[in-house]
Amino acid sequence: MLDHGFSNVTFSQTYNGYNFIQNDSLLNPIFKSSSDEYETSLRADVVFQLSKESEISFGGLGKFIDFRSNIILPPFWTNFGQQLTVNSTLDTTAIKSAGYVQLSQLLSNTIRLNIGARIDYFNLIKNTISFSPRISVAYAVSPLLTFTTSIGKYHQAPSYIWLVANPANRNLNYVSVDQYVTGVEYLLRSDVKVSLEGYIKNYSDYPASTARPYLVLANTGAGFGGSQDGYASFGLDPLVSNGTGLARGMELFLQKKLSEVPCYGLVSISWNETKFTALDGVSRASAYDQRWIINLGGGYILNELWEFSGKFRFATGRPYTPYNANGTQIVSAYNSSRIGANHSLDIRVDRRWNFERWNLITYIDIQNIYNRKALDIPVFDERTKEVKQASGGIGLLPSIGVSAEF
């Protein structure tokens, strides 16, 4: 503890293991990948109040990474007509570090300014250092109405697997994002708040494949994919930091807290558009570009014994690449089609039993009450030579539960 602030020091060790094996229809192995990632981290953070109007925070982070990977891919033709092959065992270590500082200053009774910067270091890539400045302003027009805006540059280091799967990829840069956000928040009443926020993100230096000129690795998703995306997320291709992207969107958010009015809830409606441009210069929808996402949730407390609640989710479909008649995917139509929208409704009823020294709570919860199977990206069936609509989830899912409070 400090006289006018506090500090925090954290030491941690984490391990992530991943194994991926894919077989063909005859159960012959066509791809195998295993990786082990060990991270040892030391982090320190300090917050210090300079005055009633000023606060400064700063800190640092250091990581030692031990990464081991084994990837085996016999000669394989992707759905897009390219041939890939790899057989490598890799064991490498890396160092990451970062430092940051931020000043929060109350300029007047209604305006607060936050300004800061962050420096990152990563020794596995050619340009080891990145600098990320940022600034934000909040203006309270009244106790009920507040405007906010922020501008910042953010950097993210390339994935470890991209750097070790193909040694040439160590020439990659940090992925860079210039982000602009502005919003307004209004307190309709003490228990009801509404806000509207818009954002623009400009991506640069995103890894793009030189072997597949339509491919930016942002379109391979956060996890590891399989043969459907030609194992693109493993970074087997030679990559260069020439991919760009643009994301923009708006979100309307309404929240009702529980109060003397015995109901609560939230409404979130967002519109988003994300596109990336690879080496061929064509701007295409991101693989996870869902234009409309709606979440509705809430509940009503009838009395001390009964509570009713529900949740509704809706999202427009993700893009995918259509197929030729022979099962290959149409490169010129990459991410040009979309699956249908997905939506579901959950309901729940809680019943409380109040005793002298303890309470019993029972509930009935039904997820996806109208039993709608979620739509997923279509796949080509090699046996029937047909494109089939994939679906995920388990449909209707009822459950009951009991809990006790003492």
Residues 54 and 118 placed together within one structural domain of the fold: yes
Distance between CA atoms of residues 299 and 302, nearest Å:
10
Residues 136 and 272 placed together within one structural domain of the fold: yes
The answer to whether residue 374 is domain-embedded is yes
Residues 93 and 230 placed together within one structural domain of the fold: yes
Report pLDDT for 40: 96
The answer to whether residue 322 is domain-embedded is no
Band of residue 20 on the pLDDT scale cut at 50, 70, 90: confident
Band of residue 386 on the pLDDT scale cut at 50, 70, 90: confident
Distance between CA atoms of residues 138 and 117, nearest Å:
18
Distance between CA atoms of residues 158 and 142, nearest Å:
44
Please name the residue that has the structure tokens 């039904």.
366
Report pLDDT for 306: 95
Domain that holds residue 112: 5-289
Domain count, the chain: 2
Residue 71 and residue 32 in contact, taking contact as beta carbons nearer than 8 Å: yes
Residues 285 and 372 placed together within one structural domain of the fold: no
Per-residue pLDDT tens over the stretch 276-293 = 999 999 999 998 899 999
Q: 24-38, 71-85, 382-396: which has the minimum mean pLDDT? A: 71-85
- pTM value surpassing 0.75: yes
Q: E strands within 78-128?
A: 83-106, 111-122
Helix (H) or strand (E) holding 160: helix 160-165
The answer to whether residue 323 is domain-embedded is no
Helix (H) or strand (E) holding 25: none
Residues 217 and 123 placed together within one structural domain of the fold: yes
Residues 135 and 56 placed together within one structural domain of the fold: yes
Report pLDDT for 247: 97
Residues 110 and 197 placed together within one structural domain of the fold: yes
Per-residue pLDDT tens over the stretch 141-195 = 999 999 999 999 999 999 888 887 788 899 999 999 999 999 999 999 999 999 9
Asked whether residue 211 carries a pLDDT value surpassing 50, the answer given is yes
Residues 42 and 169 placed together within one structural domain of the fold: yes
Residues 218 and 352 placed together within one structural domain of the fold: no
Q: Counting Cβ atoms within 10 Å, is residue 27 exposed (0-12), middle (13-18) or buried (19+)? A: exposed
Residues 83 and 97 placed together within one structural domain of the fold: yes
Report pLDDT for 387: 83
Residues 264 and 306 placed together within one structural domain of the fold: no
The answer to whether residue 319 is domain-embedded is no
Distance between CA atoms of residues 291 and 285, nearest Å:
10
Q: Mapping DSSP to helix (H, G, I), strand (E, B) and coil, where does residue 330 land?
A: coil
- pLDDT winner (highest mean) among 31-45, 233-247, 274-288, 380-394: 274-288
- The set of residues, in sequence order, having a beta carbon less than 8 Å from that of 108 and lying 6+ positions away, is none
Residues 337 and 274 placed together within one structural domain of the fold: no
User: For position 86, which CATH number holds?
Assistant: 2.40.170.20
